[in-house]
Chain A
Amino acid sequence: MDFLNLFVIVPVLTMIGILFTKELKGARLVSAVGMGIQLVLAIFLVFYYLSVRGAGNLHEMILTTDYSWFPSLNIHYFIGVDGIAVAMIALTAIVIFAGVFASWEMEYLSREFFISLILLSTGVFGFFISLDLFTMFLFYELAVIPMYLLIGIWGSGPKEASAMKLTLMLMAGSALLLVGILGIYYHSAPNGGPYTFNILAISKIHIPLAAQRFFFPLTFVGFGILGALFPLHTWSPSGHASAPTAVSMLHAGVLMKLGAYGCFRVAIFLMPQAATQMAWIFIILTSISVVYGAFGAIMQKDLKFINAYSSVSHVGLILFALLMMNKIAMDGAILQMISHGLMTALFFALIGMIYGRTHTRDIREMGGLMKVIPFLGVMYMIAGFASLGLPGFSGFVAEMTIFVGAFKHSDLFHRVASVVVVSSIVITAVYILRVVGKLLLGPVQKEAHLHLKGASWYEKLSTTSLLIAIVGIGVLPLWLSDTILNSLQPIMEKLVAYLH
């Protein structure tokens, strides 16, 4: 049994375990144990990876396993990880772990809820370990589908419409993606021989430029929709607003990173030439995403909408950094994926907890909550500071790395785009402080809010586990950054080879 398979097997076993439980208490216990094991495995994987690399293993991917499961089309279940995938798996494990505890009181159809939630995470874990385009796509779809049920059944507000919009837009992305992947597949054997979906093998060959020009934008936009690429981001605000807490956490925290990760691992890695040539189009779009999302957040009144627009802005920054096509910026992009994943999950968890008490997410109806629920208030404030890029939290490290990388380009176009993007740090401060000032500080708005319940142990566990990771990366970023930088070596070599 290969170790990496466990990341798919453990969730599957957890789902089976939930089937044998009766109601909420059993379901959440099994989920917590399963995802706890998953978290331990992920932490173990991180240390294992570091020790293997430390011992001088220079393979591009480690822990690779290969089963052929559809030989006639040469589709393989080919898995393996590098430092980036390891980091993404660790992120997913933390977020889903925190997500289970954030759904501790999910009374309605609890078994079905936890099964769908964990099914979604199975897709995500599978996506990050896959090195075969088709398998990867399969896992990607596995992650997107339960989302529809989770929002449509357990959501709030206009949940059916939101779920429909979200799913349809992501499906449109999948359609583009499928064409892109098949395009890559049919150009994967330029010298004859069987076609392949193997990412590592494809990365070694040269896809003709004409084909790259056609399939790069398809793949990039296909994944980009999940990464809330302007103007295809509109599923995000309504979708996040309607989704239940854990789903918002997982969706903004991890699923949007699937899009960015796909842009990186598939679109840019396999088609670097077209990526370099066409980057300018997407640099413009992502620069707009960053600033537009931040401005969009200023005027919102619903806490989840604010956070959703904030995510548009922050994930836009990831895509922007990837398109800078240099090592430092890409390092920053990966850091931002992890950092934003943790921060936004923390935000959505807290919003869910506050909503559970006040039964409103409208910031005009709340105020002075710091005094009433100090633990959640302080956590929200810290999450806010992390989100606006205060040093000591992961967001600062990621943003600064991106900015340093972006400023490596000295031509006017890149400079202007970079300056525009950097200016988002001010706008972010405006909307974060607006929310913090309105929600937490000032006088208490409603009589009923004076007697809110303090945080329970599972809420503390959920938020603290996320915060530890955020602070850990923010205070000691070197090991993570170095791990990512080393794993970026192959793509950089490929890029350099094409550019000169």
Chain B
Amino acid sequence: MINYSYTILIPLIPLVIFVFTGLLGMKWKPLVSGIIGTVGVGISFFLSLFTAYEYFFATATGSAYHTIIPVNMLWLSFTHTLQIHMGVLLDPISVMMIVVVTTISFMAHLYSIGYMKGERGFQRYYSFLSLFTFSMLGVVLATNIFQIYIFWELVGASSFLLIGFYYDKPSAVAAAKKAFIVTRFADLGFLIGILILSYYTGTFDFSKLLQPGTHLFAGLAGVSFLGLSGITWAMALIFMGAAGKSAMFPLHIWLPDAMEGPTPVSALIHAATMVVAGVFLVARLFPIYHFQAPDVLIFIGYVGGFTSLIAAIIAMTQFDIKRVLAYSTLSQIGYMMVALGVSGYGGEAGLGYMASMFHLFTHAMFKALLFLGAGSIIHTIHSNFMKDMGGLRKYMPITHFTFLAACLAISGIPPFAGFFSKDEILAAAFESNKLLFYVEYITAGLTSFYIFRLYFNIFWGKDPEYKHKPHEAPLNMTIPLIFLGLGSTFGGFVPFHKLVTSDMKPFTTVTHWGIMLPSVGIGLLGLAVAWVLYKKENDLPDKISKKLGILYTSTYHKFYIDEIYLFVTKKIIFNYIARPIAWFDHNIVDGFMIGVGTVTVKISYKIKKFQSGELQQYAFVFVAGVIMLALFILYSLGYH
């Protein structure tokens, strides 16, 4: 057996750096905090790679991987069985995730040294990045569902802090608040789900919950509420948390606004790692979903499918390049959810599960790359909008080529990474749910269209007069681009079906030619349409959007979902709940108390005449009282 206890260092290093940078950072030179943060997460990155090597390759068990819990400390104890631990759990998905998280985090750290240079609060930025990295690693390494929840909340808080990094900008503050509150609302479901689950099973621990064929759920058959079993409720509510973090429809509204944060943050948190936490959560609990709540799993598939389609449609009409990428992220996470939704358990039936994790992996590479590339463009142009860009291929060759690689990857053009993972998802959907297959198939075409619309608008198209000549980013920004570019190009060759599978046993896949060829075809079709419309500046796109009329405007306005939310929160919650309660409290409840006081005062004015100060009157009342009391006592004692 290999001793894996060193893996605790992977999350602990960022934690220590967070604490020290947070407390002392302001006394350091900005660059010092950047270097310490980068080196620290770099060590975590190499440790993760080493862990992955040891876990997947050094112990050639051949048949199956095992769940290993090298560290597990008691944190809070409710009863002898119901306890919260803090620990590290290694299994194929957690090992894959720590590699993804630390890779992207390391790249974002390195890139930010250049991107954030000279920003006010550089040290604060790095301490928050470390906090985020720590929290995210805590989520993926969790040994029990409560640990996931704890770190889940910390991830939300660090996301809040980083979105609101430019805190004197009201729009950034509003976006940060929105992100936190929407995900918090989703986490309410998550929490209630955990509480119900733990009530029925009496444990939080994955080692007990995730055993296939466990008897923990045996007593649950009879429990039902509103026609659904207790476990279905619990798992659906837990998915609500996952949908919030992963920005699934209708809880997706916070993600596009979250682009107010610095661009490396968007790459790290809002593209590659935090937003896939929901996918990770469903994958983590997959045995429970599959065996105990299959209905919820189907529901997850439909939510994912709907989100991926609608987000791809919205992405086609946006002009802010970060928003295009944000909607693209929604759409791609939808793919991962679909894959989980259609997956079975074990062997080839678990193709969807494997494909989902595979796509999570490749998506992290190419989407982080797209964001970092966008960052390097924004860094030199100082604008997020397509109208200010064009012809940049001449000025920024490295950004251009790496960006192109990522575009080809997301469009599913072979041999780039996205091709393999997306193909597996389509194959899995084709096997079990034709409707979802067609939705995802069409979405693939839309994806290719919107991403190349973006690409042509930035790097080709018109050639505006730049005030400052755009320039290529410095080396510490281009190295991450190149690294991720290589990942997006060759990441598809990682043999996921041998590494990350639903039952932790490797299986062999067959090539689905019947799906592969049409999917490449629709990808190329999307590319071709974008080529025609946007490669050279022309008025065709405007004409088409005019033709589409209301269809176009409603898409451009993101189907007015934000406005609906605004209506519900501002009008209904603020004006029809909170304000009346405040009024009620002030006027009715407190008014009553004050009324009691006032009445008391009034009555006392009336009866104060009794205290007239006249001795005869007092004596009379006194004597009369004594006589009456004496009579009463005599009467009650029976002397009559």
Name A residues whose Cβ lies closer than 8 Å to a Cβ of B.
164-165, 168-169, 231-235, 237-238, 292, 295-296, 298-300, 328, 331, 368, 370-371, 385, 389-392, 396-397, 400-401, 403-405, 407-408, 410, 418-419, 422-423, 425-426, 429-430, 433-434, 437, 440-444, 477-478, 481-482, 485
Closest beta carbon of chain A to B372's beta carbon, Å: 27
Closest B residue, CB atoms, query A238: B590
Residues of A within 8 A of B1 (CB): none
Q: Which segment of B88-96, B300-308, B457-465, B572-580 sits at the interface?
A: B572-580
Interface pair A443/B170, CB less than 8 Å apart: yes
Interface pair A168/B597, CB less than 8 Å apart: yes
Bound CA span A158–B590, Å: 15
Given A300-B582, A419-B192, A441-B168, A401 contacting B173 (CB threshold 8 A) = no
Interface pair A295/B577, CB less than 8 Å apart: yes
Interface pair A391/B180, CB less than 8 Å apart: no
Closest B residue, CB atoms, query A377: B167
Q: Which 5 A-B pairs have the closest CB atoms?
A: A234-B590, A299-B582, A298-B578, A407-B195, A441-B167
Closest B residue, CB atoms, query A440: B167
Supply 8 A–B pairs (Cβ within 8 Å), ascending by A.
A165-B594, A295-B578, A390-B153, A401-B78, A408-B199, A477-B75, A477-B76, A482-B77
When each residue 516-555 of chain B gets 1 if its CB lies under 8 Å from chain A and 0 otherwise, what string results? 0000000000000000000000000000000000000000
When each residue 563-595 of chain B gets 1 if its CB lies under 8 Å from chain A and 0 otherwise, what string results? 000000000001001110110010001101110
Given A231-B589, A390-B153, A478 contacting B75 (CB threshold 8 A) = yes
Bound CA span A390–B593, Å: 36
Partner of A295, one of B150, B191, B581: B581
> Is B198 among interface residues, defined by CB-CB distance under 8 A?
yes
Residues of B within 8 A of A235 (CB): 593
> Is B188 among interface residues, defined by CB-CB distance under 8 A?
yes
Interface pair B581/A296, CB less than 8 Å apart: yes
> Is B154 among interface residues, defined by CB-CB distance under 8 A?
yes
Residues of B within 8 A of A481 (CB): 76-77
Residues of B within 8 A of A328 (CB): 78-79, 82
Closest beta carbon of chain B to A18's beta carbon, Å: 34
Interface pair B191/A391, CB less than 8 Å apart: no
Name B residues whose Cβ lies closer than 8 Å to a Cβ of A.
74-79, 82, 146, 150-151, 153-154, 157, 160, 164, 167-170, 173-174, 176-177, 180-181, 184-185, 187-188, 191-192, 195-196, 198-199, 574, 577-579, 581-582, 585, 589-590, 592-594, 597
A-B CB contacts (within 8 Å), total count: 124
Residues of B within 8 A of A403 (CB): 191, 195
Partner of A169, one of B164, B173, B192, B593: B593
Interface pair A429/B184, CB less than 8 Å apart: yes
Interface pair B181/A429, CB less than 8 Å apart: yes
Residues of B within 8 A of A443 (CB): 168, 170
Bound CA span A381–B386, Å: 37
Given A295-B577, A370-B167, A422-B192, A234 contacting B177 (CB threshold 8 A) = no
Closest beta carbon of chain B to A442's beta carbon, Å: 5
Residues of A within 8 A of B169 (CB): 442
Contacts A433-B177, A477-B75 known; 6 new A-B pairs at CB < 8 A = A298-B582, A401-B76, A404-B82, A426-B181, A430-B181, A441-B173
Closest A residue, CB atoms, query B575: A299
Residues of A within 8 A of B574 (CB): 298-299
Partner of A433, one of B181, B577, B578, B582: B181
Residues of A within 8 A of B594 (CB): 165
Residues of A within 8 A of B177 (CB): 433-434, 437
Partner of B154, one of A165, A231, A237, A390: A390
Interface pair A478/B181, CB less than 8 Å apart: no
Interface pair A404/B198, CB less than 8 Å apart: yes
Interface pair A397/B76, CB less than 8 Å apart: yes
Closest beta carbon of chain B to A114's beta carbon, Å: 31
Interface pair A299/B195, CB less than 8 Å apart: no
Given A422-B192, A478-B74, A234 contacting B593 (CB threshold 8 A) = yes
